[in-house]
Amino acid sequence: MTGVLELGARALGLAAGCGDVQITVTRERSLLSRFARSVPTQATAVDDTSVSILVVRDGHTGSVETNDLSDDGLRAAASRAAAAALAAAQAAGGPGEHPGLPSPGEAGTPSSHEGFDAATADLDPAVGGAALATAFAITAEHDLEAFGIWTAGRVETAITTTTGLRVADDVTDAYLKVIARDARARSGWGAAAAVGIDGLDADSVTRQAVARVARVDPVALAPGAYDVVLEPDAVGSLLDMLGGLAFDGLAHAEGRSALTDRLESVVAAPCVTVTDAPLMVPGLPRAFDADGVTKGPLTLLDAGVARAVVHDRRSAARAGGDAVSTGHALAPGGSPYGARPTNLVLAGGSATGVDELIAGVERGLYVTRLWYLNVVHERSTTLTGTTRDGTFLIEDGRITKPVRDVRFTDSALGILERTQALTAATSLVCEADFYGRRAAHGCVVPALRASGLRVTGQTTG
């Protein structure tokens, strides 16, 4: 981490005279191997470092991010950021709402965590190659083809400020997914996410995907309300969407959040407790947010009762009262779109496994994963999306036949309100769709059973 801290210090020095400045250095090194039809298709290696310079002036911000790390490049970026903050201040004609950069005391001391793995940081492409070879061999044994990715990355982050903050974090992440598919387009899903490559068992992930490939053709299912058992990947997708819809402190402050007027009210079943646990393993630990504020555990839903929303420094200032940053800034200075939790954990329940959840369903659905979720209505947390890569009918407490993928349109909070049981075991699930700079995040969740999932359509063919 010395390198990114030194770069942060150098950039801060070059920004001298620009006012209140926060430097954020991010270095990504990553590998991603992609495969389809049991053949490697794309392999990507990235090595890039960027410096973000945030200037705060009279409560207004300007920012510039660059990967030109020369003195001239950084000096020019700092000048541009200062000019942006000045223009924002002049355009407003009065003080802005940004509360200023945190002092070391306000930011807190970053907690140590176990989010780094040295073997993963080596980024050896042969490790990925071996994982692919395993996936290809196992699927071939079952006359199936493998599709998916193996990826590993190391991201170093340093923040230095004119208020004296000087913090750094160094994290790794690894992810493998395998979709096994037969010639009739029937597919099954397996995935694993971890801090390190040792957490990816290609054999196990592939066998899980193979086991979920239906051996007979799927049947149609009429729209209606169905009891449902959701595997952790499906639960994680719902929880991730809920993170932005329900817990964004800016939306809450502006009266447009799902939890507006509902804090300290019952919004989910008593078996539902959701926390943001940024230091937990399994999980993808992070020491501080994009403002440099230390991260720590925060209870959001406690036995079904809404307890808190999350804030960055800017949204906390907007909310006023006793609101403070909870360490959830998504961008230096706070994202204009608000704050959100990035390490959500849904506590496990008492069910011994998915079979026990299934045993409690007279007629319903077993869903492996969800796809293309989008918000239909923010306040009610109504989402729509489809199932994918393994959807089955449950009859009389057991899985009886595959079902064509279905579309659902339902409230994410509503599903948690109708949750009846959860498995004791939880796992880390991660989407690993790395747009822009790699920023791995995931949810730690159990499988769950809920009543009355609203199925509104079905794919054909």
Partner 1 sequence: MSAVLALLVDVCDAARVLGVHAEARHVETRDEALAVRNGEVSEVATDIAAGIGIRVRVGGGWGFAATREVSQAGVEAALTRAIAVARAQPVGVAGPFAELAHEPARGHWAGPCEVDPFALSLEERLAHLHAAEAALRTTTDDRLVVTTAHTRSRRTRTALATTDGAACTQERVETGAGIQAVAADGDETQVRSYPMSHDGDVLLAGWELVTSLDLVGNAPRVAQEAIELLSAPVCPEGVRDIVLHGEQLALQVHESIGHALELDRILLGEASYAGTSWVGADALRRSGTLTYGSEHLHVIADATLPAALGSFGWDDEGVAARRVPLIEEGVLLSALSNRQSAAEVGLAESGGCARADGFARQPIVRMTNVSLEPGSAGTLGDLLADTEDGLYLETNRSWSIDDRRLQFQFATEVAREIRGGELGRLYRNPSYAGVTPEFWGAMDAVCSASEWRPWSFTNCGKGEPGQVMAVSHGTAPARFRGVQVGVA
Residues in the chain: 461
Residue with smaller CB distance to partner 1, 295 or 328 = 328
CB of 199 to partner 1, least distance (A): 19
- C-alpha to C-alpha distance for 340 and 310, rounded to whole angstroms: 6
Look up residue 135 and give its two tokens: 């996936």
Residue with smaller CB distance to partner 1, 163 or 315 = 315
For strands 39-57 and 60-66, give the pairing: antiparallel
What contacts 428, CB < 8 A, 6 or more positions away?
Answer: 193, 194, 282, 283, 284, 442, 443, 444
What contacts 318, CB < 8 A, 6 or more positions away?
Answer: 97, 250, 253, 254
Residue with smaller CB distance to partner 1, 297 or 457 = 457
Residue with smaller CB distance to partner 1, 90 or 265 = 90
Look up residue 76 and give its two tokens: 């020019």
- Indicate if the alpha-carbon torsion angle 294, 300, 306, 311 is positive or negative: positive
CB of 381 to partner 1, least distance (A): 11
CB of 258 to partner 1, least distance (A): 9
CB of 303 to partner 1, least distance (A): 24
Residue with smaller CB distance to partner 1, 297 or 336 = 336
Residue with smaller CB distance to partner 1, 290 or 422 = 290
Residue with smaller CB distance to partner 1, 181 or 418 = 181
How far is it between the farthest Cα atoms of the chain?
A: 72
Distances (CA, A) of 65 to 54, 75, 428: 9, 12, 31
CB of 238 to partner 1, least distance (A): 14
Distances (CA, A) of 350 to 239, 271, 375, 446: 20, 9, 31, 10
CB of 438 to partner 1, least distance (A): 7
Residue with tokens 């994982």: 131
Residue with smaller CB distance to partner 1, 1 or 43 = 43
Backbone angles phi, psi at 447, to 5 degrees: -80, 155
CB of 373 to partner 1, least distance (A): 7
CB of 216 to partner 1, least distance (A): 19
CB of 341 to partner 1, least distance (A): 21
- C-alpha to C-alpha distance for 393 and 458, rounded to whole angstroms: 14
- C-alpha to C-alpha distance for 423 and 355, rounded to whole angstroms: 10
Beta bridge partners of 395: 363, 398
CA angle 362, 381, 259 (to 5 degrees): 115
CB of 405 to partner 1, least distance (A): 6
Distances (CA, A) of 394 to 175, 216, 281, 457: 30, 15, 33, 18
Residue 212 one-letter amino acid: R
Distances (CA, A) of 33 to 145, 150, 379: 16, 5, 39
Residue with smaller CB distance to partner 1, 170 or 254 = 254
Residue with smaller CB distance to partner 1, 81 or 309 = 81
Residue with smaller CB distance to partner 1, 112 or 460 = 460
CB of 308 to partner 1, least distance (A): 21
CB of 422 to partner 1, least distance (A): 26
Look up residue 195 and give its two tokens: 């801090």
CB 333 within 8 A of CB 314: yes
Residue with smaller CB distance to partner 1, 20 or 276 = 20
Residue 339 one-letter amino acid: A
Single out the residue of 404, 403, 438 nearest to residue 120, CA to CA: 438
